[in-house]
């Protein structure tokens, strides 16, 4: 049985856990890394776009420092991350160089997602790297992160990256073959759940907790990650990373692991999220021409169509777009702050650089970041 969701997916986020990367704490498994890189290189040749979310920095640092167990001290964890990150990135870079592929290190923390300006910057750099066929390798910025701004685990980070880039597929490689009906280590009759909807709450009771000592995640965090990814229409496959040619099997639609379907297309789901889950920070009053372009032609909002700016907002904030009567017709993430918007309203795109001295974007709100509400 094949899975069209996987075979049709163009943009992938692949997450690899600590237990896999360090062979359960024995140091970086270079052979395993080479195996995954071989398969990712093949995906790239097929025209897929891949962002890799890699755990393993802290685990590798613990091994390099000769510690016998994961420390509790935040500063010791940060030190382990700083030491381990060096080896982790070196391993990936060396492996991808065999295919003449460039890699880029991206370190994120929760503030990068909470701040809309940093969110857009992170989104922009990831999209640019993919367009250049560079493989972004994403990890949490464990060297400076604190509990208050921690993602909690790299499963959640991978899901948020999937939201960030509008990924079609999130593949979580783990040391289990997928999600089982019960703990397979304790229940010999437990069976692999081949497919379910990500929002199926009946899965919570069987997901359990983390049984590992290296990472912070477990099957429950992978289920939660699938639900986060589904928010932007991205489906998730949880699958055993040690299985031979596993990424190839996923790409060809083989029924491996557990597929947790989002049930929505990425853009539609993302626009639902824009419409209902962010606080509106300001307002743009549009002329009749801009209202028509947005509602009838599905195009981006340009500064030339804006007649008034209301409120204080920064780049990346959510703003409401209203017509001359004050009726909201759309809302979206704005590319310029309020002061900049006031200076360029009613002006052509070509005039922006002359007015501001720079031009970050052609559009005041790009159509991908805009949802029609009225």
Q: What is the pLDDT of residues 174-230, one digit of tens each?
A: 988 999 888 777 788 888 999 999 988 888 888 764 444 333 347 888 998 998 888
pLDDT beyond 60 at 149: no
Q: Which two tokens stand for residue 64?
A: 């390099």
Radius of gyration of the chain (CA): 22
Tell me the C-alpha distance between 258 and 165, whole Å: 23
Alpha helices in the chain, H assignment, sequence order: 4-8, 18-21, 30-45, 57-65, 74-97, 110-114, 116-131, 154-165, 204-207, 219-230, 246-251, 266-276, 288-297, 338-344, 352-356
Helix 154-165, helix 219-230: angle, nearest 10: 10
- With 0.85 as the threshold, say if the pTM is over it: no
Confidence of residue 144 (pLDDT cuts 50, 70, 90): low
DSSP state of 168: S
Q: Which of the residue ranges 43-52, 80-89, 268-277 has the most confident prediction, judged by mean pLDDT?
A: 43-52
Average of per-residue pLDDT across 37-65 = 93
pLDDT on residue 145:
58
Chain position carrying tokens 């083989």: 254
CB burial readout 325-340, b (16+ within 10 A) else e: eeeebbbbbbbbbbeb
pLDDT beyond 70 at 114: no
Average of per-residue pLDDT across 323-329 = 95
pLDDT on residue 49:
96
Going along the chain from its start, the domains and CATH numbers come out as 4-271 (3.40.1160.10), 278-372 (2.30.130.10)
Confidence of residue 374 (pLDDT cuts 50, 70, 90): confident
pLDDT on residue 212:
41
* Mean pLDDT taken over the chain: 87
């Amino acid at each position: 049985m094949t899975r069209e969701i996987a075979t049709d997916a163009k943009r992938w986020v692949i997450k690899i856990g600590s237990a896999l990367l360090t062979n359960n704490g024995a140091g970086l498994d270079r052979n395993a890394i080479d195996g995954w890189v071989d398969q990712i290189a093949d995906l790239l040749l097929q025209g897929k776009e891949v962002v890799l979310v890699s755990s393993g920095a802290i685990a590798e640092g613990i091994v390099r420092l000769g510690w016998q167990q994961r420390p509790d001290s935040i500063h010791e964890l940060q030190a382990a991350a700083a030491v381990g990150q060096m080896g982790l990135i070196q391993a990936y870079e060396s492996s991808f160089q065999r295919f003449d592929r460039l890699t880029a290190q991206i370190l994120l923390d929760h503030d990068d997602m909470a701040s809309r300006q940093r969110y857009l910057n992170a989104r922009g750099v990831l999209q640019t790297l993919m367009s250049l066929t560079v493989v972004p390798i994403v990890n949490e910025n464990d060297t400076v992160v604190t509990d208050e701004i921690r993602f909690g685990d790299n499963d959640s980070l991978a899901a948020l990256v999937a939201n960030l880039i509008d990924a079609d597929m999130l593949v979580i490689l783990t040391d289990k073959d997928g999600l089982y009906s019960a703990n397979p280590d304790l229940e010999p009759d437990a069976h692999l759940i081949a497919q379910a909807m990500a929002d199926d709450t009946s899965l919570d009771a069987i997901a359990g907790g983390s049984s590992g000592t290296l990472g912070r995640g477990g099957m429950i965090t992978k289920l939660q990650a699938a639900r986060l990814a589904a928010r932007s229409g991205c489906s998730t496959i949880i699958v055993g990373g040690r299985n031979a040619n596993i990424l190839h099997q996923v790409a060809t639609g083989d029924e491996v692991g557990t597929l947790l379907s989002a049930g929505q297309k990425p853009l539609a789901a993302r626009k639902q999220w824009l419409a209902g889950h962010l606080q509106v920070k300001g307002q743009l009053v549009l002329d009749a021409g801009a209202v028509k372009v947005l509602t009838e032609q599905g195009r981006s909002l340009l500064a030339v169509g804006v007649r008034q700016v209301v409120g204080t907002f920064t780049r990346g904030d959510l703003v409401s777009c209203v017509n001359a009567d004050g009726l909201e017709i759309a809302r979206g993430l704005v590319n310029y702050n309020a002061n900049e918007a006031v200076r360029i309203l009613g002006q052509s795109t070509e005039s922006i650089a002359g007015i501001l001295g720079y031009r970050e974007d052609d559009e005041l709100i790009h159509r991908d970041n805009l949802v029609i509400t009225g």
